Amino acid sequence: MKILITGGAGFIGSHVVRHFVNKYPDYQIYNLDKLTYAGNLENLKDVEQASNYHFIKADIVDKDTIFSLFAEHRFDGVIHLAAESHVDRSISNPTEFIMTNIVGTANLLNAAREIWDNTDEKVFYHISTDEVYGSLGETGYFVEDTPYDPRSPYSASKASSDHLVRAYHETYGLPVKISNCSNNFGAFQFPEKLIPLIINNIKHNKPLPIYGEGKNIRDWLFVEDHVQAIDLIFHQGKSGETYNIGGNNEWTNIDLVKKICQIADKKLNRNTPAESLITFVKDRAGHDLRYAIDSSKIQRELGWKPSPDFDALLDKTISWYLENEQWLNSVTSGNYQKYYEKQYAKR
């Protein structure tokens, strides 16, 4: 079986690639990635020599390349993770999101539709986000049929791609699956996202920027739990179906950042508590208040459940960033500094 994983050099993608390469030695895993600022082959050092692992540097927006790769390999399955993924960047540069997330997804769908002849055994699995459902108030949860209400350029581009995936199922009978998950955390996440950004700033004694009053709520999902869900959906999920994946683990940003500070203080043995670095900054435009997932469908139908011990997983995650200094330094050098300056200097 030949599986194409797009975006496999990114945060979640690298965990997915590692899992499939190691767990399924009979599968040939093709990791297609453009290697944007968020893609890093260092994330896959431990599998790059595996005989069932293949890397292809390509851009999903490049239709001709995508078509010729499908024609050459005829992949049996696709797990599509390649995307521009950061809300703040989508606010400053939405076009990149429209191109990669919408046009790039359309190119993959078209290649699958035109090149796959017998689709009975095929799977086109699209990875999406709970942000397509919009913003919750203090109560309620996103379920699979919550109406779409995306509010940022990022979530609007992911919503568009989800709609295209479903439309190709209805119109052309393409065998698709979709999952929408909540905020992931774990090793190898680019430090533009809240958790690794806070850890990196604590490490360098830099201010810890909290948008607005820090009362926004996110439902944090451990990336390895997400990978287990992806494996189950890829192999056992029903064609044409959507599955919501969440951590059942809601935190306000301020409480989460304080928790990270407390854990880091113990590990770093410093005299001044990291909490003193917390700085409230200008809020994100259109900042969604709360995301929370009801994952009972995947729990009931596929027997998945999230790990219960958030404290231990967060502790493990913080240790990973503190111990992998070289990784952190390499991803935060060069362009990251420029990004950080632009994003936070005048906030």
Considering the rule CB under 6 A, would residue 153 count as an interface residue with ligand TYD? no
CA–CA distance, 339 with 324 (Å, rounded to integer): 22
- Of residues 275 through 294, those in contact with ligand TYD by CB under 6 A are 284
Considering the rule CB under 6 A, would residue 197 count as an interface residue with ligand TYD? yes
- Phi first, then psi: give them for residue 53, nearest 5 degrees: -115, 135
Considering the rule CB under 6 A, would residue 193 count as an interface residue with ligand TYD? yes
Q: Which helix (H) or strand (E) holds 266?
A: helix 253-268
DSSP per position, 273-295: -GGGGEEEEPPPTT---B--B--
CB-nearer residue toward ligand NAD: 28 or 161: 161
Interaction site with ligand NAD (CB under 6 A): 6-7, 9-13, 33-36, 38-39, 59-61, 81-85, 100, 104, 127, 129, 158, 181, 183-184, 190
Considering the rule CB under 6 A, would residue 107 count as an interface residue with ligand TYD? no
Min CB(218)–ligand TYD separation in Å: 5
Considering the rule CB under 6 A, would residue 242 count as an interface residue with ligand TYD? no
Residue type, 233: I
Considering the rule CB under 6 A, would residue 184 count as an interface residue with ligand TYD? no
- Return the residue of 216, 242, 295, 317 that touches ligand TYD, per CB under 6 A: 216
Min CB(190)–ligand NAD separation in Å: 5
Q: 190 — alpha (psi -120 to 50), left (phi > 0) or beta?
A: beta
Is residue 121 a contact partner of residue 45, using CB atoms and an 8 Å limit? no
**Given the residues 59, 84, 130, 225, the one annotated as active site:** 130
Considering the rule CB under 6 A, would residue 186 count as an interface residue with ligand TYD? no
Q: Is position 131 annotated as part of the catalytic site?
A: yes
CB-nearer residue toward ligand NAD: 80 or 277: 80
Q: How many helices (H) and strands (E) does the chain have?
A: 13, 13
Considering the rule CB under 6 A, would residue 151 count as an interface residue with ligand TYD? no
Residues 6+ apart with CB under 8 A from 36: 84
- Return the residue of 218, 226, 258, 290 that touches ligand TYD, per CB under 6 A: 218
Three-class SS state of 4: strand
**Given the residues 30, 125, 141, 154, the one annotated as active site:** 154
Residue 243 β-bridge partners: 179
CB-nearer residue toward ligand TYD: 107 or 253: 253
CB-nearer residue toward ligand TYD: 90 or 105: 90
Considering the rule CB under 6 A, would residue 15 count as an interface residue with ligand TYD? no
Q: Is position 24 annotated as part of the catalytic site?
A: no
What sections of 57-180 are H helices per DSSP?
63-73, 87-92, 94-97, 105-115, 153-172
> By C-alpha distance, which of 111, 229, 116, 132 is closest to 177?
229
Query: 200-225 in b/e burial notation, b at 16+ Cβ within 10 A?
Result: bbbbeeeebbbbeebebbbbbbbbbb
**Given the residues 131, 219, 225, 250, the one annotated as active site:** 131
Binding residues for ligand TYD (CB under 6 A): 87, 183, 193-194, 197, 209-211, 216, 218, 253, 284
Among all residues, which ones are annotated catalytic?
130-131, 154
